[in-house]
Amino acid sequence: MKYFGGIDIGSTTIKIVLIDGRHHIVADVTCPTGSHFHKNTMAAFEGLLADSNIRRDDVVYIFSTGYGRKLFKESDETISEITANAIGANGLCESHESIQTIINIGGQDLKVIQLDREGQIENFAMNDKCAAGTGRFLEMTARNLEVEVDELGKYHERAQGVPITINSTCTVFAESEIISLLANGHGKEELIAGVHYSIAKRVARLAKRFGMEGTVFFDGGPAKNQGLVNALEDELMRQVIVPDTPQITTAYGAALLAWEAYDDMGEAVNG
């Protein structure tokens, strides 16, 4: 049995996906990147192999992507996360309508990728200069409100009042703003909802550069947050499609590319 690996080494988390010859995800793992990229990625990879009972030799091709892609010596090829994300999104999306916009919110960046009708990348825009509209903003919020990041969506759902407006776009200034709002007795739920709208507004501003048509696909770790998804739909004023496993979309795309590259080499692939 041959397997193909996609490794997305992000600024905040490492995602590894292994697929079989039919493109099914057979194993995946997500863990913190930490400071030692190579060591932590190796550990995650070896751990994943052990947990899923797969031998290293059975993984016949590996593509790495993401911020730290060039640092992982074990991969056969590297690819930008923009391309990997586009391929992963198209692979995961079951809708017949072709995806035209991909919004990816990562730990430290925010990307909008515009695709043409054939699924090729036409254009993209990034915010990688500041933490506004990124996972970091959510982490800061969770820390200050003393909740877990993956609980934020639940709190948003419970909000009864109007979401609190967060005026600062800068994460650093927004932190002060949130702390003072909290001190003034505002509810956690409404504050969290307000944070989601603030991020969504920032994202919408970037996304609107491309005048969105067609299906909008949203991935990255923060896409697991249903509150954020709802806020994004409100700010974009359109429906947004989120895959079941949004955080590993890019790694999945890298794995698909690994399969394609191996296939191109003329080797037979057993199902």
Q: Binding to other proteins (CB under 8 A): which residues in 186-215?
A: 194, 197
Residues 216 to 255: which contact other proteins by CB under 8 A? 234-235, 237-238
Please report, as residue ranges, which positions from 34 to 73 form the binding site for other proteins (by CB under 8 A). Answer: none
Question: Least distance (Å) from other proteins to the CB of residue 226?
Answer: 17
Of 157, 165, 179, 180, which lies in the binding site for other proteins, with binding defined by CB under 8 A?
165
Which single residue is written with the structure tokens 């593509």? Answer: 63
Nearer to other proteins, 237 or 268 (CB): 237
Choice between 76 and 175, CB closer to other proteins: 175
167 counts as binding other proteins under rule CB under 8 A:
yes
**Whose Cβ is closer to other proteins: residue 84's or residue 242's?**
242
Question: Is 95 a residue that touches other proteins (CB under 8 A)?
Answer: no
Q: How far is the CB of 72 from other proteins (least distance, A)?
A: 41
By the 8 A CB rule, do 66 and 10 touch?
Answer: yes
Subset of 105-164 contacting other proteins (CB under 8 A): 161-164
Select 52 or 180, whichever has its Cβ closest to other proteins: 180
Give whichever of 77 and 234 is closer to other proteins, judged by the CB atom: 234
In the complex, minimum distance from the CB of residue 197 to other proteins, in angstroms, rounded to a whole number: 7
